[in-house]
Each structure stands twice: as structure tokens, then as C-alpha cells.
Amino acid sequence: MSQFLVFGHQNPDTDAIASSYGWAYLERTAFGRDAEAVALGTPNEETVFVLDYFGVEALRVVESAKAEGVDKVILTDHNEFQQSISDIREVEIAAVIDHHRVANFETANPLYMRVEPVGSASSIVYRAFKENNVEVPKEVAGLLLSGLISDTLLLKSPTTHETDPQVAKELAEIAGVNLEEYGLAMLKAGTNLSSKSAEELIDIDAKSFELNGNNVRVAQVNTVDIDEVLDRQAEIEEAIRASQEANGYSDFVLMITDILNSNSEILALGANRDKVEAAFNFKLENNHAFLEGAVSRKKQVVPQLTESFNG
């Protein structure tokens, strides 16, 4: 039985898996603590590509820390409780490694908290390896590189920090890959949406946010053809409405991102349509609108929604 469970957010993306895998390795190697990286959901197709490429087994999926007999957890790539493990309020949070906003967060005990405005949680983990003079194994470097590529869309997203290109260069060298070639192949692996049901599609990469008393779900899918996704609008909207009813979401915002042209279409349903329109200064037609140059949920969608809902 491990002393610590290390995990990213629900519906884990590549950065959530990579940063937890890397931090658990660092816990064991540098700090001498028994830590296991686990996942709060099955990996998406992009992450499966990454794990297969670097020969890493998928992390064990858990639903409750207490059920695992663990009282201490470490969070990576998130800190908001509604995005975390089901019994997060019943365990001690020993550390947080994140690159998002801090919200709805309090603990009974002091903790190690490292939150930096960089492109990925994986970037932070890599710097921690260097600070502690721990050699990064090839497979760990591959995962951390992949987490950075995923969250910054191969360093093209506005979330890319000025230090991230150097981090990517160093990790690519350790992992033994060509950054551009590998990065594009990895991103394309995550755009095969035709095999996904509408229910799966809206849950591939989705997070819940409490915005001025409203439970707002913001999801994102990456594609190379926005129209191909919009062709399925009727079934997608049906799945969204079912999810809203089942989970009490006041609003559901789906960000359909074209990874080649760096634009997005926003599909939105819910009680606060006017606030969504005000957030982006556009008009929803047939429940969707084009958002030029938007590729980052963290920087180009959630802050705007937060301001609008609080306004």
C-alpha cells in the first residue's frame, strides 16, 4: 500500500497523466516517499498514443482515496475540488503541483504548493527534477514532453510560457524524438472523433467550474475539421442536455478547437446564454459561434466566462 496517491484531474488529459507519473517518480527517487501515480479516469486516445510510444502502462484508475487505504494525496494539474477525487475533502492534501487558477481551495494543514503560470504541469515537474539533481528517464521525459505539447498545442497556444520552448527542447533530446514530428503525430492521434459517441465526445476533456453560484461545465475537443464535429450537432446537444440534467450543470460550453488553424467554435447550452455571449462578444446562432484565435480553455475561455458570470 502506497503512502501517497498522486493524480491529476477527472477526465485526465495527457498533462494530468504525465505530471502525476513524473511527480510520483520524483517522490520516490528524490524524497524517499512511497508514492503511486494513479488516474481519475481512463486515458484518451492522445494519451494512449503517448503511453504506447514510450512503453508505459496505463495508470491504475481509482475512484476513492479512502477505498485505497490512503490518507494523503498529491494533486497535479488541478486544485479545484470539484475536478478531483470523489472523497478529496476526507483526505489530507500533501502537495499541489499545478498551472491553473486557484479556486475553492482550503486545507486543514500546511502543504507544499507549487502553482506557476507556465504551459503545463509537466513543465513544473521537469524543473523540479533539475532542481533536485535527479536524472530524468527516457520514458518520463517522453511523458512530460507530451504533457507540455498537449497543453500548449505544440507551443502555439497563448498559454505557452517563455521558458517552455527550452523545456520542450531538453525533454525531446532526452526522450530521443524530433519535437515537431512527434508533436504533430501525437496531436493528430487525439483528433479521431468519429469513433466517439456524443456522450464520450463531450466528456473527453471536460471540467466543472463554480462561477458565481453556477455549476458550469466547460469541455474541449481537438479536431482538424470543425465542420465534421458540427455535422453531429443534434446528437451532441442531446448528450449535453442529458448531462446537464444528470449533473445539475446550469451551462455547458463545448470548445471545438481546430489544432491546425488555431481557431475554435463555441457550442453553448444553458440558462445563461447571455453571459456566454457577453464573455466573448459574439452572438450565438443555432447555439454556436466562431471564436477566432482561441485554442486555450484556461486562458481564452474560463477567465472570460468567470468575468462575465461575476459581472
Quick check: 1 pLDDT over 60?
A: no
Domain with CATH 3.10.310.20 in the chain: 198-310
Quick check: 240 pLDDT over 60?
A: yes
- pLDDT per residue over 198-211, tens digit each? 999 999 899 999 99
Annotated binding site: 9, 13, 15, 77, 99, 151
Quick check: 285 pLDDT over 60?
A: yes
Stretch 220-246: mean pLDDT, rounded?
Answer: 95
Quick check: 177 pLDDT over 60?
A: yes
Quick check: 106 pLDDT over 90?
A: no
* Of 140, 165, 138, residue with least CA distance to 152: 165
pLDDT at 193: 87
Quick check: 261 pLDDT over 60?
A: yes
Neighbours of 168 (CB within 10 A): 25
CATH number of this structure's domain 4-190, picked from the four choices 3.90.1640.10, 1.10.30.50, 3.40.50.800, 3.30.70.930: 3.90.1640.10
Please check whether residue 147 is in contact with residue 121, taking contact to mean a CB–CB distance below 8 angstroms: yes
Query: Mean pLDDT score of the chain, rounded to an integer?
Result: 95
- pLDDT per residue over 64-83, tens digit each? 999 999 999 999 999 999 99
Stretch 213-222: mean pLDDT, rounded?
Answer: 95
Quick check: 309 pLDDT over 80?
A: yes
Stretch 176-184: mean pLDDT, rounded?
Answer: 97
Stretch 36-52: mean pLDDT, rounded?
Answer: 96
Annotated binding site for Mn(2+): 9, 13, 15, 77, 99, 151
For residue 137, what is its C-alpha cell? 528517464
Q: Is the pTM of this model over 0.95?
A: no
Distance CA 33, CA 234 (A): 50
Three-state secondary structure readout of the chain:
CCCEEEECCECCCHHHHHHHHHHHHHHHHHCCCCEEEEEECCCCHHHHHHHHHCCCCCCEECCCCHHHCCCEEEEECCCCHHHCCCCHHHCEEEEEEECCCCCCCCCCCCCEEEECCCCCHHHHHHHHHHHCCCCCCHHHHHHHHHHHHHHHCCCCCCCCCCCHHHHHHHHHHHHCCCHHHHHHHHHHHCCCCCCCCHHHHCCCCEEEEEECCEEEEEEEEEECCHHHHHCCHHHHHHHHHHHHHHHCCCEEEEEEEECCCCEEEEEEEECCHHHHHHHHCCCCECCEEEECCCCCHHHHCHHHHHHHHHC
Distance CA 266, CA 219 (A): 10
* Of 92, 112, 147, residue with least CA distance to 27: 112
Domain with CATH 3.90.1640.10 in the chain: 4-190
198-310 classified as CATH 3.40.50.1000: no
Stretch 126-136: mean pLDDT, rounded?
Answer: 97
